[in-house]
Amino acid sequence: MCGIIGIASNKLVASNIIQSLKKLEYRGYDSAGIATIVNGEINEKKCAGRVENLEKMLFKNPSNGSLGIGHVRWATHGIPSKVNAHPHSSDEVSVVHNGIIENSNELKKDLEKKGYKFKSQTDTEVITNLLTDFLKDFDLVDAINKTLKTLNGSFALGIIFKKFNNIVVGARRGSPLAVGYGPEENYLGSDSYALKSMTNKITYLDDGDVCVLTNNKIDFYNSKNKKINKEILILSDDKNIAEKGEYKDFMSKEINEQNVTAKTCIKEYLDQLRKNINIYNFPINPKDIQKIVLIGCGTAYHSCITAKYWFEELTNIPIEIDIASEFRYRKIKLNKKNLYVFVSQSGETADTFAALDLCKKNKVKTCSIVNVVESSIARSSDFVLPIHAGPEIGVASTKAFIGQMLVLYILAIKISEVRKEISQSDYEKKINDLKKLPDLIKKTLNYCQDNTPIIAKDFLKAKGAMFLGRGLSFPIALEGALKLKELSYLHAEGYPAGEMKHGPLALIEEGLPVVILAPKDRYFEKTISNMQEVIARGGKVILITNESNNIISENIRFTLEIPKIDDYLTPFLMTVPLQLLAYNVASLKNCDIDKPRNLAKSVTVE
């Protein structure tokens, strides 16, 4: 994680650095810092906490200089504190870093023997001291190359120098980095989103690339130190730049716009007459697919589990699901007849990217389902299916989950149709049902706005909570539990309802909130029986169903009745009350909704 910005200009840069850092806070927000060149010297300012703290600091004591770097941190080595905040500077250089230097301990010992003193507990400070050391004996290019060669691990770096005070150097290995071209100034950034308010002309660095920026020129070098030309991309004029508007926070905006997210996504994938699904040019003929492997992390992984149920129902293809951080290290037999699908909102998640990279190296067919189409995962995969959700800023993934599930569902229907495993009439019915989804999401949102804050009060004194479901409601139970824990810091477990008797039932005690997801599908009666087992042991049940008739409800604390829809689409509607519940519990606890503790939006470290 961590976010990097660099600007080489002929005007003062601090204010643009701060504005860009605010955009990068989704990557980390435990400390922030800036370094500029002022009167030929490196001037470093940093603080613990949010960028606004840094901004206040600069308000009292401005950072001048027309060239500088900035950083937002998500701690890996060393606690979040001022001393561990980036940049890390010597008299000669100042460095901002995203990633992890795996051999930092060895390098630190060597440097200490040479007399270098370390102020922080970070792995980054070795880069500062290493570069300072090489600059004593080598010219700039050689010193940079020698430093990069000495480092193991992954990194994106931004560096400024006392002696070469008109350049910003960037380097990428494993962690994303882009440059932007402006009028009489150039930029370096962790992603195009941070640069978008300054320019729409972008170049992405590839692994091993180094770039040197001045205010009027950008040069690129590859890992063999050869000067290279790189493509300039013009970013689309995105009117959907994230602003909170009338909402208190991004998360409530993102939850409340999910009907629009669904509408946009469906529109993108259905043809004009809304009779067919527009997915062509598969990297592998669907008829030849032997197995589909769905890979992701966190919420994206939950969308993969949901998709497993859809694919198994709609096609005869065996489906595997995998957590990217496990997939990347297992001894998996990759097969050219399989399709490997990577799901990621950001498209930058390090584990998902590494899993994709493993597949690429083994030359198997890859497809990515992403929100950020300019992301590393999108750019590296054979085939990209965007979710068209627009920027998602809240750390807790909401509308992207809806988008990921939608694209996976649409993909399952399409593959089934191409393989002729679904009848034409069923195919048409599925498309028709899909078209109803956005309005029913809206209806569910309206219905849950008033009752979820009341239900949330019951969670305030609870030691924890459980979420239970069967079939397609099981991954939604996992997602409900994840949302509650990441937002409200309350322990929560998601379980397949039928699994309770194998252990977790022991957790049920008087007053424990248990959310039961029981749509009227083929599991309905069984889930209701599991609910009775919970009630019998004192659990405080919150039932979410689309069929409340005929349920003996006297011992149910709350029942939420969501609209009826085709069984396959129920997960979309079931998700909404769970998001709102987590949101309201967190609000009542005064938690930071958009930036929960210890987390970051884009997880670009292992």
For ligand M6R, the binding residues in 300-319 under the rule CB under 6 A are 300
Residue (45 or 73) nearer to ligand M6R, CB: 73
State in angstroms the smallest separation of the CB of 387 from ligand M6R.
10
- Minimum Å distance from CB 290 to ligand M6R? 26
Give the residue nearest to ligand M6R (CB): 298
Q: Give catalytic status of residue 149 as yes or no.
A: no
Residue 397 C-beta: closest distance to ligand M6R, Å: 4
Q: How far is the CB of 353 from ligand M6R (least distance, A)?
A: 9
Q: Does 452 bind ligand M6R (CB under 6 A)?
A: no
Q: What is the DSSP letter of 174?
A: B
User: Hey, how many other C-beta atoms are within 10 angstroms of the C-beta on 425?
Assistant: 8
Of 483 and 540, nearer to ligand M6R (C-beta) is: 483
Residue whose structure tokens are 């020698």: 146
Identified binder of ligand M6R from the candidate list 397, 444, 473, 488, rule CB under 6 A: 397
Cβ within 8 Å of residue 386, ≥6 positions away: 268, 369, 370, 371, 373, 378, 407
Q: Which two tokens stand for residue 225?
A: 């130190």
CA distances from residue 375 to 468, 602, 606 in whole angstroms, order as listed: 34, 11, 17
Cis check: omega of the bond before 87, within 30 degrees of 0: yes
Q: Which range in 153-161, 395-403, 439-447, 581-589 contacts ligand M6R by CB under 6 A?
A: 395-403
Q: How far is the CB of 530 from ligand M6R (least distance, A)?
A: 26
- Nearer to ligand M6R by Cβ, of 92 and 351: the residue is 351
579 near ligand M6R, judged by CB under 6 A: no
- What's the CA gap between 473 and 482, in Å, rounded? 14
- The pair phi, psi for residue 4, each rounded to 5°, is -120, 140
Question: Is residue 256 at the binding interface for ligand M6R, with CB under 6 A as the rule?
Answer: no
Crossing angle of the two packed helices 473-488 and 570-588, in degrees rounded to 10 = 20
Q: Which of 346, 473, 530, 579 binds ligand M6R (CB under 6 A)?
A: 346
Q: Is 300 or 321 the residue whose CB approaches ligand M6R more closely?
A: 300
Residue of 2, 304, 367, 448 marked active site = 2
**Nearest in space to 543 (alpha carbons), one of 508, 568, 578:** 578
User: Is 395 near ligand M6R (CB under 6 A)?
Assistant: yes
Residues 270-299: x where in contact with ligand M6R by CB under 6 A, - otherwise, as a string: ---------------------------xxx
Residue in 108, 540, 595, 601 annotated catalytic = 601
Backbone dihedral region for residue 493 (phi beyond 0: left; psi -120 to 50: alpha; all else: beta): beta
Restricting to residues 483-512, name those near ligand M6R by CB under 6 A.
Answer: 486
344 binds ligand M6R (CB under 6 A): yes
Strands (E) in 135-280, as ranges, are 153-161, 168-173, 178-182, 185-189, 201-204, 210-213, 218-221, 227-228, 233-234
Counting every residue, how long is the chain?
606
What is the pattern of x (binds ligand M6R, CB under 6 A) and - over residues 348-367? -x--x---------------
DSSP letter assigned to residue 502? G
Taking the least distance from each CB to ligand M6R, the nearer of 76 and 344 is 344
155-174: which residues touch ligand M6R (CB under 6 A)? none
The number of residues that bind ligand M6R (CB under 6 A) is 16
Which alpha helices (H) appear in 85-232, and where do they start and end? 104-113, 125-137, 140-150, 192-195
Distance of alpha carbon 231 from alpha carbon 561, whole angstroms:
53
As measured in angstroms, the least distance from the Cβ of 16 to ligand M6R is 26
Identify whether the C-beta of residue 143 lies closer than 8 Å to the C-beta of residue 134.
yes
Binding mask of the shown chain, residues 191 to 210, with x at each position contacting ligand M6R by CB under 6 A: --------------------
Active-site annotation holds for 265: no
Dist. CA 120–CA 485, nearest whole Å: 31
Residues 6+ apart with CB under 8 A from 549: none
Residue of 404, 255, 388, 402 whose CA lies nearest to 344: 404
Q: Given the complex with ligand M6R, which of 44 and 392 has the nearer CB atom?
A: 392
Query: Which positions lie near ligand M6R, rule CB under 6 A?
Result: 297-300, 344-346, 349, 352, 395-397, 482, 486, 602-603
User: Which positions are catalytic?
Assistant: 2, 601
